[in-house]
Amino acid sequence: KKSPSFPPPNHAIMRDSLRKNMMEGLRFQVDGEAGERLDRVLHARLNGISRAAVQKAIAAGHCRIDGLAVVSAACKVRRGQMVELDLPRADSPLEAEAAELEVLFQDAHLVVCNKAAGLTVHPCPSCPEGTLVHRLLHHFPQVRQMEGLRPGIVHRLDKDTSGLLLVALDEATRLRLAEAFAERTVAKSYLALVQGTPPPTGTCREPVGRHPTVKVKMAVVAESRGGRSAHTDWRVLWTAADRSCSLLLVRIHTGRTHQIRVHMAHLGHPLLGDALYAPPPVRARAPRQMLHAWRLEFTHPWSGEPMRFTAPLPEDMLACAAEAGGCTRRLVVTGNPGCGKSTVCAALERLGVPVISADAVVHELYAPRGLMARWLGERRPDLLAADGGIDRSALRPAMRHDPLLRQDVEAQAHELVRRRITAFWEQAEARGEAVAAAEIPLYFECGWQKDTFTPRPLSLCVTCPVDLRRRRVMAGRGWSAEHFDAIEAWQWPEAQKAAQSDRILANTEGVGSLDVQLEALLKGIVQDRDERRRLLRERWQTLLAGLA
């Protein structure tokens, strides 16, 4: 953005006069102001000094009338009286901190900066140090002349919200900007990454107030119960392929605490990563609430020039959206009996990838007191072993001779396994794992490659010639050739599975070859994530360029 050519000379003179007044005091004889309150008269003569600051100076004994100290701001002045005011410097008690501050624009009056997520704007009891104000004191020492713990601050962003913040560098500018915010002539637009897919455009006017029981939260509260009017508009800019999240352009017409977060949660589309207002699965999808103050529009308080700024897209928001279901890339390892799925999964674990086995989950379900054992025991107690677990040697022939029994057992077991695998992936996402794998032999036979998991995982089919697979299971598991052929007949042919899979891994040359292939596969998956992020950045930048 181009810096305007200002301040004009009269503003510079006003500023110098103000500085002189603050340093050397003010002395004048009452004339046309006779009958007015003392604080009003002083405030009118000290442009750029708040009336509250004048009242504090009077109460502190810094004002004299005809040589006598006056401590009442409400006293009326009379014609001919000599009024003197010593207005000391308002040096801030805060210590400057030499830390990074991304400044997008600055002139003699104001600064527009891009606040990083995780940075508190001004000191408070829970955060007395390390705030944006402390950094301002280092980069712009002149703000020390303003009073209080929020020098120059005219609006705020939540600690974990990134983006544009407007700061005044002197008291006169702060007062003018504060008036502009109060009159709602400052336009603020945000980018928000929310759960699901809201309507293309919408408005929420629900009043916002303090939560009735949780004091750190806000909520939709009726105005009759203390809520204040709030107005939020949104427009959907982008929706993930799996429709699990959407990018919104949000315009707020009021500035209530947590307004966007409260309104979107109220509408059923909480912000990803929002620790206060999103349910745990949505909270786990991002490291912070995905909210970015993207655009700021206002009129310069002295030059009158329209000002318009946009902040760069934050990397964590791009990364979150690029995954569309979390930061973890989900991988399914499948294949036919004896292909080496378990060997591949063991190799993945050696490479640091968390793995869950559907067969291991089934083993737990079939064990004594397992959910499947209890379920089947109520229907076919003859299929239970003496210890109360399911007798697989009895179950297999029973399922071959009774298709309805097989259908019921598979439906029940598959649903329980699906839930466990989904929970495993969600936990991996919460931990920030790059990749997490699930060994699912019947992935395609169950129809899980369609819409069972969101986002859809990558599928890896482990292949091996059928004769070699038969020899492996007969030697390693003690299967007969007939039993192998029966199990094989229940599953898709290997060629069909391979054709439906995203990746294929040939397991014919031993464990060493598997490790090499898997390292290359994992590297490709990570690079694919980076590529998705790059493409998404380009797409979003194109979308926003038409709006900026």
The answer to whether residues 180 and 155 belong to one domain is: yes
Instruction: Answer for the pair 36, 77: CB distance below 8 angstroms, yes or no.
Output: yes
DSSP state letter for 153: B
Q: What is the pLDDT of residues 196-211, one digit of tens each?
A: 999 999 999 999 999 9
Number of neighbouring beta carbons within 10 Å of residue 219: 19
The answer to whether residues 57 and 113 belong to one domain is: no
The answer to whether residues 303 and 379 belong to one domain is: no
Query: Is residue 537 domain-resident?
Result: no
348-356: average pLDDT? 94
CATH number at residue 34: 3.10.290.10
The answer to whether residues 394 and 527 belong to one domain is: yes
Q: Which amino acid is at 340?
A: G
Between 361 and 43, the more confident residue is 361
Report the number of distinct structural domains present in the chain.
3
Query: Is residue 155 domain-resident?
Result: yes
404-431: average pLDDT? 91
The answer to whether residues 266 and 397 belong to one domain is: no
The answer to whether residues 182 and 128 belong to one domain is: yes
Under the banding of pLDDT at 50, 70 and 90, the label for residue 364 is: very high
Residue 349 has pLDDT above 70, yes or no: yes
Query: Is residue 275 domain-resident?
Result: yes
Distances (CA, A) of 105 to 51, 102, 110, 312, 402: 29, 9, 8, 14, 76
What sections of 302-402 are H helices per DSSP? 315-323, 341-350, 358-366, 371-379, 392-401
Cα–Cα distance measured from residue 426 to residue 454, given in angstroms and rounded to the nearest whole number? 11
Under the banding of pLDDT at 50, 70 and 90, the label for residue 453 is: confident
The answer to whether residues 302 and 409 belong to one domain is: no
What pLDDT, on the 0 to 100 scale, is given for residue 106?
96
What pLDDT, on the 0 to 100 scale, is given for residue 30?
92
The answer to whether residues 123 and 269 belong to one domain is: yes
19-42: average pLDDT? 78
The answer to whether residues 303 and 450 belong to one domain is: no
Provide the residue range defining the domain that includes 510. 329-532
Instruction: Answer for the pair 132, 115: CB distance below 8 angstroms, yes or no.
Output: yes
The answer to whether residues 155 and 65 belong to one domain is: no
Query: Is residue 540 domain-resident?
Result: no
The answer to whether residues 54 and 124 belong to one domain is: no
Instruction: Answer for the pair 184, 253: CB distance below 8 angstroms, yes or no.
Output: yes
Under the banding of pLDDT at 50, 70 and 90, the label for residue 250 is: very high
Under the banding of pLDDT at 50, 70 and 90, the label for residue 54 is: confident
Instruction: Give the least confident one: 101-105, 358-362, 525-529.
Output: 525-529
Q: Please provide the average confidence, as pLDDT, over all residues in the chain.
A: 88
Distances (CA, A) of 451 to 242, 419, 428, 446: 9, 14, 20, 11
* Helix H or strand E encompassing 504: strand 503-506
DSSP state letter for 145: G
What pLDDT, on the 0 to 100 scale, is given for residue 208?
96
The answer to whether residues 286 and 205 belong to one domain is: yes
Residue 194 has pLDDT above 70, yes or no: yes
What pLDDT, on the 0 to 100 scale, is given for residue 22?
39
What is this structure's pTM? 0.56
Under the banding of pLDDT at 50, 70 and 90, the label for residue 511 is: low
CATH number at residue 489: 3.40.50.300
Residue 12 has pLDDT above 50, yes or no: no
Under the banding of pLDDT at 50, 70 and 90, the label for residue 163 is: very high
What pLDDT, on the 0 to 100 scale, is given for residue 512?
65
Task: Report the candidate in 361, 370, 322 with the shortest Cα–Cα distance to residue 193.
Answer: 322
- For the annotated catalytic residues, the residue numbers are 158
